[in-house]
């Protein structure tokens, strides 16, 4: 029985992170009335815990710096990184629309995103493609997006949870039940619904079911990532895709819980276990590196770098936080470094000597790392104790190129859209297909596509 709704919203967005905020702003720009519901009193989500970086190609920021890139090159990198197993329709949509979305954010929303030239091509990106707000992180992005929604006159209900949806036998959603902390439950009608309420990295049962190797790993994602949108849409007959995909990361500091920027290893840093030995190619797989880290004895490893590498990453907020906390062990010699980390000095000296020999010879080292002009650590040293963690999931609701949620037979549900962690991404079926800054790339790109498509559908309903 579908209730009689006192209020009907043309576009209802569930989730106030990057995906939901961008969806709302795009729908409002397209002329639709929008309501956003966000479960937290202060919007944060996975976006707030991220570095606020977006992988995009063919942007004006790239062109300004003389960086040649294209949607075709981006698409090729996605498919190569995922071994051809990413959904090609979604990969094409990201390749074609991520760049225009970043340009739109900069020009139409006055968001100060620029090309991060400190984030060198690595981990599958063949050129400089990572964009961000220099000196700012993901929470700054969320806060700025909510200011833009306020400027656009978009209503946002904070502390509000999606409890249920009301749909007919065709799968058309007519409204939702919302649960508000201060007012209990209420029902709101909607012409279209966009699910941007995160993935399932904080849902232990779902992680154990779909990503068993991460069942006992630390979750460094938002606790609200419970798979709410996935569960609700599944009841309506939605298809799922790539549920085993995730972004793990092998450099979460212990005990501070701060992410060591990838540039630390890209610039020459190494990982060593408690025996003082390397065990992985540190620049091969940004997400998959979590698995060998978790497999090491002692429950932790050390990232070893030096003063030069620290300086190259000093503009990044996480590096600044670690420096402010005096978290880095400092040493002027291998002997001091061994004493600071409780690592065996002989093994540590041999490990560093092997890395320097491989770099000097120009040949890949024992782990396949090609050093090129990058230099392994040298005195004065820096070291951080790190652990592996899961950051966010990359599988979810199957969507099309317009972010419409699909059934298993490929037909769309009538008025349901999804993006961000709730939707299938373009990382393939597992951990090894993740490109740097792809989480927010899919969030903002499919958020904008969902907002535009939902607004068009809602306006067509109004016309009828």
SS3 54: strand
* Res. 136: pLDDT tops 60: yes
Evaluate whether 257 touches 250 at the Cβ level (below 8 Å): no
Cβ within 8 Å of residue 446, ≥6 positions away: 19, 93, 94, 399, 403, 418, 419, 420, 423
| pLDDT band, very low/low/confident/very high, at 81 (cuts 50, 70, 90) | very high
pLDDT digits (tens, 9 = 90+) for 94-103: 999 999 999 9
Q: What span, in angstroms and rounded, lies between the C-alpha atoms of 248 and 271?
A: 16
Rounded CA separation 281/368 (Å): 6
pLDDT band at residue 213 using 50, 70 and 90 as cut-offs: very high
- For the chain, the domains span 8-245+394-463, 248-390
Confidence at residue 353, expressed as pLDDT on a 0 to 100 scale: 97
For residue 462, the model assigns a pLDDT of 61
Sheet holding 54-55, edge to edge: 54-55, 130-132, 114-115
pLDDT-derived band at 222, boundaries 50, 70, 90: confident
- C-alpha triplet 455, 458, 460: angle, nearest 5°: 110
CATH topology of domain 8-245+394-463: FAD/NAD(P)-binding domain (3.50.50)
- Mean pLDDT over 233-247 rounds to 96
Span 23-75, pLDDT tens digits = 999 999 999 999 999 999 999 888 988 899 999 999 999 999 999 999 999 99
pLDDT in tens, 367-386: 999 999 999 999 999 999 99
3-state secondary structure of 11: strand
Looking at the chain, the whole-number percentage of residues with pLDDT higher than 90 is 92
Judged against a pLDDT cut of 90, whether residue 182 lies above it is answered with no
- Residue 403: which of 361, 324, 352, 456 has the closest Cα? 456
- Mean of all residue pLDDT scores within the chain: 95
Query: Rounded distance, CA 371 to CA 361, Å?
Result: 10
pTM, full prediction: 0.93
Specify the residue for token string 């978009």.
Answer: 154
DSSP code at position 146: H
Give the C-alpha separation, 226 to 231, whole Å.
9
pLDDT at 389: 96
**pLDDT category, 109, cuts 50, 70, 90?**
very high
Angle at 411 between CA 407 and CA 415, to 5 degrees: 85
> Considering only the top CATH level, what class is 248-390?
alpha beta
Q: What is the dihedral of CA 72, 75, 76, 82, to 10 degrees?
A: 180
Per-residue model confidence (pLDDT) at position 463: 56
What average pLDDT does range 444-450 have in this prediction? 98
* DSSP string across 393-439: E--EE-B-TT-EEE-TTSPEEEEEEE-GGGB--SSTTSGGGPPTTHH
Residue whose C-alpha is closest to residue 416's, from 407, 404, 399: 404
- How many whole angstroms separate alpha carbon 206 and alpha carbon 204? 6
DSSP H helices in 236-281: 263-266
């Amino acid at each position: 029985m579908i209730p009689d709704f006192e209020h009907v919203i043309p576009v209802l967005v569930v989730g106030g992170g990057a995906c939901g905020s961008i969806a709302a702003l795009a729908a409002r720009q397209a002329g639709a009335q929008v309501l956003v519901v966000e479960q937290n009193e202060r919007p944060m989500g996975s976006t707030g815990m991220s570095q606020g970086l977006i992988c995009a190609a063919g942007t004006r920021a790239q062109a300004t710096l003389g960086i040649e890139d294209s949607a075709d090159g981006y698409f090729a990198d996605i498919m190569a990184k995922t071994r051809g197993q990413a959904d090609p329709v979604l990969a094409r949509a990201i390749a074609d629309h991520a760049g225009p979305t970043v340009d739109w954010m900069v020009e139409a929303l006055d968001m100060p995103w620029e090309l991060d030239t400190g984030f060198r091509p690595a981990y599958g990106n063949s050129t400089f493609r990572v964009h961000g707000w220099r000196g700012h992180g993901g929470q700054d992005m969320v806060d700025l997006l909510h200011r833009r929604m306020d400027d656009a006159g978009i209503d946002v209900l904070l502390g509000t949870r999606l409890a249920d949806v009301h749909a007919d036998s065709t799968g058309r959603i007519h409204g939702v039940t919302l649960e508000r902390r201060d007012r209990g439950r209420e029902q709101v009608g909607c012409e279209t619904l966009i699910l941007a309420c995160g993935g399932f990295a904080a849902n232990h049962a779902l992680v154990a079911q779909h990503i068993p190797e991460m069942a006992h790993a630390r979750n460094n994602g938002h606790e609200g990532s419970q798979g709410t949108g996935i569960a609700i849409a599944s009841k309506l007959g939605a298809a799922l895709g790539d549920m085993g995909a995730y972004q793990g990361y092998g450099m979460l500091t212990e005990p501070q819980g701060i992410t060591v920027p990838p540039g630390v290893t890209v610039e020459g840093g190494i990982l060593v276990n408690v025996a003082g030995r390397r065990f992985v190619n540190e620049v091969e797989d940004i997400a998959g590196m979590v698995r060998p880290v978790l497999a090491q004895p002692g429950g932790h490893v050390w990232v070893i770098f030096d003063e030069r590498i620290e300086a190259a990453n000093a503009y990044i907020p996480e590096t600044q936080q670690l420096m402010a906390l005096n978290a880095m062990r400092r040493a002027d010699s291998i002997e001091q470094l061994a004493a600071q980390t409780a690592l065996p000095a002989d093994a540590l000296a041999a490990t560093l000597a092997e890395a320097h020999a491989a770099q000097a010879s120009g040949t890949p080292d024992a782990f396949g790392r090609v050093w090129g002009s990058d230099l392994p650590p040298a005195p004065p040293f820096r070291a951080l104790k790190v652990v592996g963690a899961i950051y966010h999931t990359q599988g979810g609701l199957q969507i099309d190129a317009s972010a419409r949620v699909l059934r298993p037979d490929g037909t769309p549900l009538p008025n349901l859209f999804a993006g961000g962690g709730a939707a299938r991404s373009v990382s393939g079926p597992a951990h090894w297909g993740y490109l740097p800054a792809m989480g927010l790339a899919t969030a903002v790109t499919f958020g904008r596509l969902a907002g535009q498509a939902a607004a068009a559908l809602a306006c067509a309903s109004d016309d009828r």
